[in-house]
Copies of this chain bind each other. A is one copy, B any other.
């Protein structure tokens, strides 16, 4: 399957991400329908021209006419939904998702799925500290990364179509990882990062913070305003990988604490220089993209 103007999209779960997908796809001229939980979401999306049609229940007719289905739900909800409603998928349909952890989604979905449809997972690395279709905004994809996580069960055509979707949505960089490698990577760059921000924001009850903080504290705690329902689920869904990343961070932090306690200025400077080199390399590669 390749994407063309006849490709009919279905978004399941019209929240911030699902809504942003719908907006981007409509702008590119695709037909987009949605099924989601609340009628007011559907009404709003229709009024705004974000979707061409939709229902506040898993309407078999709508599901049955989609060529490309985007499951934009939390991991457990996604698994339950596929189990219950996959019988309505159109034969040959391509199914993808937006979940931030992959192993715990890809394996069970590919195992339970009808043989005449294909699930190819992807992680759009974009988001906001806001929720819902009313905050949907496809500009969040600009400059962002999109990771496709194929397995041996995927066809080259499906992988290509999913990568094409990432480009159509406007992502700056589309890449490929195995689900396992993805989860290790995300345990580090995303989940560890959120765990650190939350720990920093809650480790000290000091009063009057706003009078004394500089940009650095604000930068490190921006993501400490966190959707507890989603992130606790994502953390638990990637428990082993995240625990390992937390332990690596803790070990490095302990080394730095020891250097400070011992007055080891050269050791401290050495770590800071390595940090600077690595951060600069990240910026340089960003510029090349």
Which residues of A does B touch, CB under 8 Å?
Answer: 125-127, 144-145, 147, 173, 175, 177, 184-186, 188-190, 192-204, 206, 209-226, 228-229, 231-233, 235-236, 239, 242-243, 245-254, 256-257, 260-261, 263, 265, 268-269, 271-276, 278-280, 282-283, 285-286, 289
Contacts and interface: CB of A to CB of B under 8 A. Distances in A.
Given A175-B211, A206-B188, A224 B278 contact: yes
Given A212-B125, A212-B175, A257 B246 contact: yes
Enumerate the 9 nearest inter-chain pairs by beta-carbon distance, A residue then B residue, closest first.
Answer: A228-B272, A210-B285, A203-B252, A228-B269, A225-B279, A125-B214, A201-B275, A198-B275, A199-B253
Given A219-B220, A260-B239, A145 B195 contact: no
Given A200-B249, A228-B276, A233-B265, 19 more contacts: A125-B213, A127-B214, A177-B212, A189-B214, A190-B214, A190-B217, A192-B200, A193-B200, A195-B253, A201-B275, A202-B278, A203-B252, A209-B282, A209-B285, A213-B282, A228-B268, A236-B260, A236-B265, A250-B254
B189 A245 contact: no
A126 B173 CA distance: 34
A195 B256 contact: yes
A254 B251 CA distance: 12
B200 A273 contact: no
9 contacts: A175-B212, A177-B212, A188-B206, A202-B274, A204-B248, A219-B220, A219-B223, A233-B265, A246-B257
A285 B246 CA distance: 32
